[in-house]
Structure 1
Amino acid sequence: MGEDGVKKRKVVQNDDSQSIKSKESTAMQLKKQVGLLSGISLIVGTIIGSGIFISPKSVLRNTGAVGPCLIIWTACGGIGIMGALCFAELGTMITKSGGEYPYLMEAFGPIPAFLFSWASVIVMKPSSFAIICLSFAEYASAPFYPGCEPPEVVIKCLAAAAIMTITVVNCLSVKLASYVQNFFTVAKMIIIIIIIVSGIVLLIQGNTQNFTNSFEGSKITVGGIGLALYNGLWAYDGWNQLNYITEELKNPYRNLPLAIILGIPLVMVCYLLVNIAYYTVMTPTELLQSPAVAVTFGDRVLYPAAWLVPLFVAFSTIGSANGSCFTAGRLTYVAGREGHMLKFLSYISVKRLTPLPAIVSYGIIGMIYIIPADINTLINYFSFAVWLFYGLTICGLVVMRFTKKDMKRPIKVPIVIPILMVLISVYLVLAPIIGEPEWAYLYCVIFILSGLIIYFPFVHYKVKWAQKITKPITMYVQMIMEVVPPE
């Protein structure tokens, strides 16, 4: 009788353990489908967009000479590497998707985390997405309108089509989005290599006149350096993108830091060599007068194959847009999961295992930002807010070294690196305001703080009438998109 009882209990325990395992295996959550190669492609593919091909002249304009310009590009790469190392510690310490959001939540609580998600989800991420797709549309339509600018309606329609396509791809499958990202990363590396090799050949042939007296005519001011760093770091922006998808990264303790260590120095070397190639063909004056530096380079060096440059720049921008959509959708998903956005934004597709509502909402908001005639100015004013949150996040890393000493840290960077990054962030936030003070910076701060008007009634106090409005919306979203809450 005793042996039978023991056997029965063992059978019951085995059944329970199997049922628990089966529940875990069928739990609705984002799956780990992004490997090391896809992680490197995501970093490189998101960082290298249209910036290095179109507007290195903005760095030159604020430095005045070739020598300081190349130093700024190198410094921006160093800042990107240090920032990424800080985020590698944060990402392996707090293995949640959403980039800065979960780190701010852990270090400072819900209010800074909400303000970050508020500013990012509503303005910073989707407007940047729209700008990238508009850049793609300009280059993709240019061959069909030789000698004149493409009509604005054509550019906007093509940009809208790009946003819709990228959104659909990211909704359908994580693997499909990763394959698309890998393809466009390879495509943009091809044109990078073509430009670099052409530059090396020209240097060997003796085209070094633009590098003699390279510091002559330089204009070094505190504000000028800040603005030059601003423009260079805008081209490097994306070094933290892998932290937005930590939950979908295979073996994050290994692959997150490894992808950062391999990806960002690769971008840094490419950026330096591409700039050197530009200066082998153009004088500083000619570069400043060029509307699109890479296109001018192609016209002078690659003729009659100059058409390759706008084609591959279009590939580059669409790849950057895909990486932006892939990661930004996860921020919306995590904010919804934490109750800081509408709850259905955290729901997962039953069939696709993708954060479908979050990605769709990101695409819709991106579409809205295509409507204005020009939102580049808006992006410039909000870019300082990006460094405001970078600095606050890395400051949180320093704070948690003292407040959460017992947390597991697979990677631990020397404390001097995050402290230096906080100081750099403070400088980058204040330098443009001091250099060219404008009311727009104040409006930007007011918008960020206006998130508190949403936070207290809807998130903190959870007013009942708001829940009555959102409940039927959530039900219809579940029915139409076939999504369920994450488990």
Structure 2
Amino acid sequence: MSKPDVIFEDEGKTVSLKRNVGLLSAIGMIVGTMIGSGIFISPKGVLEGAGSVGLSLVVWTLSGILATLGALVYAELGTAIPLSGSEHAYFMYTYAQGRSKLGRCIPFLYDWVGLFIIRPVMFSVICLAFGTYVVKPFYPGCDPPPFVVKMFTIVAMLLIAFINSYSVKLAVTIQNVMMVIKLIALAIISIGGIYMICLGNVDILSEGFQYTSTSPSTIAIAFYNGLWSYDGWNNLNFITEELKNPNRNLPLSIIIGIPLTTAFYVLANVGYMSVMSKEEIILSHAVAVTWADRVLGVMSWIIPFSVAASTFGAANGVLFASGRLCYVAARDHNFPQFLSFIHSRRFTPVPAMMFTCLVSILMIIPGDISTLIDFFGFSSWLVYGFTTFTLLLLRVTHKDLKRPYRVPTVIPVIVLLMACYLVIGPIIQDPKVQFLYAVLFILSGFVIYVPFVHMKIHPPGMDTLTKLFQKVLQIVPTKVE
């Protein structure tokens, strides 16, 4: 399981992915991916599920704490198994050693769900938010037509895919610049909210815990929306092979990035509630724009611009990481091999980027943001819970595994229990059809696994298609020693 090289078969030259991501860029990847569409969309979902102002702020805080704990779990795994691909790499190491057919199925099912649900949904929702905020100023007083929003969204998706296929350094630079812009936007909302509170606008905040929901199901949905805003905390684990000094920078970027984001999120919600009623927050599709119209006056354009930049940067980070999952899944023979090829000169996984972008575009055509978030929340926390279980299992089965960073045992136990609640609670209290769809889709992975991975059936015409992609995209295969 060594670092992958790419071979020019006709020249004998070696090309590999480069370690271009330092500490600042790592923090930018975490903060820049987490602060995307969620804080500008999810306040309505969290408030609606929590029922009260007080509980909604508690949900935002606890979501940040849970994201930090989950990220620390992943930090131990990422430093002990320093390979790109996040969960894929950890499942392959833990369950697929010894060529166990059952064990090999586990990482494949994760790849199946990750590449067709979790990562595309995450990319799609963020890009939909970008499209909404870009189009919104052209439709004052009403919601923009869904067709127009989706057209702008698709254009943004294609542009981001091009950037990530063209240059790793360009993608990382965009991520860092967008991080600064979005932090400025959240600072404006936070400071503006504190100013409004000082003027006496505390009617909504003074409600406290009145009307708090008592349903575990609706509270779980509130957590889904809150945790959606923090998702991206594990993105560095997808690009470990491109991270400089991962043993130091992986846990350090988590410790800096996620608490910083949590503080901004709580303050931003206080800012919203200083000028908007609960009903207005719940009904608004662009909470930050409404806030800006009331507080900033003629300068209100700053917030839509910043939100568009924020969502664009977050989508850029998500695709950057998602392409690496597709890359390593194909490299380990769980998907067609040409998806693991990289560009011969630019060192970018072009086919993986194109594949992820295409699946994401297909995802947004019939979908809407709320449904996609619920679908994502259930599927992702199912994976996070199983990954946490894997860490605990490794401590029993691989006691001698070198762990440069070791998280206290109580932390993975808390994350595992919370993941069980987030997965099982909504099913018991208020089963939704999207949960059933997610389970059925996971099970359908067996239909693909048995013939193409277990039995190793080679689809006809695949070699011809691979050669065509090599010539058109100028990509070369990956060799793993």
1:158 aligns with 2:152: yes
CA drift at 1:402: 0.7
Aligned residue number for residue 480 of structure 1: 472
Cα distance in 1, alignment partners of residues 29 and 90 from structure 2: 21
Cα distance in 2, alignment partners of residues 444 and 315 from structure 1: 31
Distance 1:287 1:156, change over 3 A: closer
Structure 1 residue identity aligned to 2:48: R
SS in 1 for 2:204: helix
Count how many residue pairs are aligned between Structure 1 and Structure 2: 461
Aligned residue number for residue 6 of structure 2: none
SS in 2 for 1:27: strand
Structure 2 residue identity aligned to 1:294: A
Question: Normalising by the residue count of structure 2, what TM-score does the alignment of the two structures yield?
Answer: 0.92
CA drift at 1:368: 2.0
Cα distance in 1, alignment partners of residues 373 and 280 from structure 2: 26
The match for 1:81 among 62, 68, 85 is: 68
The match for 1:43 among 10, 30, 51 is: 30
1:31 aligns with 2:23: no
Aligned residue number for residue 362 of structure 1: 356
Structure 2 residue identity aligned to 1:93: A
Contact 1:97 1:243 in 2 (8 A): yes
Cα distance in 2, alignment partners of residues 344 and 153 from structure 1: 33
1:469 aligns with 2:461: yes
Cα distance in 1, alignment partners of residues 273 and 149 from structure 2: 31
Cα distance in 2, alignment partners of residues 100 and 402 from structure 1: 18
CA drift at 1:161: 1.2
Structure 2 residue identity aligned to 1:171: S
Cα distance in 2, alignment partners of residues 301 and 177 from structure 1: 34
Cα distance in 2, alignment partners of residues 458 and 289 from structure 1: 47
Where do 1:104-183 residues align within 5 Å?
Answer: 104-109=91-96, 110-183=104-177
Q: Which moved more, 1:397-406 or 1:148-157?
A: 148-157
Aligned residue number for residue 14 of structure 1: none
CA drift at 1:433: 1.2
Cα distance in 1, alignment partners of residues 59 and 352 from structure 2: 37
Question: Which of these two proteins has the greater Rg computed from alpha carbons?
Answer: 1
1:215 aligns with 2:202: no
Structure 1 residue identity aligned to 2:82: T
The match for 2:83 among 75, 85, 96 is: 96
Where do 1:322-333 residues align within 5 Å?
Answer: 322-333=316-327
Which consecutive residues of structure 1, in runs of 5 or more, have no partner in the other structure? Answer: 1-24
Cα distance in 2, alignment partners of residues 446 and 91 from structure 1: 30
Aligned residue number for residue 454 of structure 1: 448
SS in 1 for 2:236: helix
Cα distance in 2, alignment partners of residues 131 and 152 from structure 1: 13
CA drift at 1:376: 4.3
Structure 2 residue identity aligned to 1:471: D
CA drift at 1:266: 0.6
SS in 2 for 1:215: coil
Cα distance in 1, alignment partners of residues 145 and 276 from structure 2: 30
Contact 2:133 2:286 in 1 (8 A): no
Structure 1 residue identity aligned to 2:95: F
Which consecutive residues of structure 2, in runs of 5 or more, have no partner in the other structure? Answer: 1-11, 97-103
Question: Normalising by the residue count of structure 1, what TM-score does the alignment of the two structures yield?
Answer: 0.91
Q: Which moved more, 1:272-281 or 1:323-332?
A: 272-281
Cα distance in 2, alignment partners of residues 376 and 70 from structure 1: 20
Tell me the C-alpha RMSD between the 2 structures: 1.7
Q: Which moved more, 1:107-116 or 1:198-207?
A: 198-207
Percent of aligned pairs with the same amino acid: 47
Distance 1:310 1:147, change over 3 A: same
The match for 2:392 among 392, 398, 404 is: 398
Distance 1:55 1:421, change over 3 A: closer
1:267 aligns with 2:254: no
Aligned residue number for residue 53 of structure 2: 66
Structure 2 residue identity aligned to 1:73: W
Aligned residue number for residue 306 of structure 1: 300
CA drift at 1:163: 0.9
Aligned residue number for residue 293 of structure 1: 287
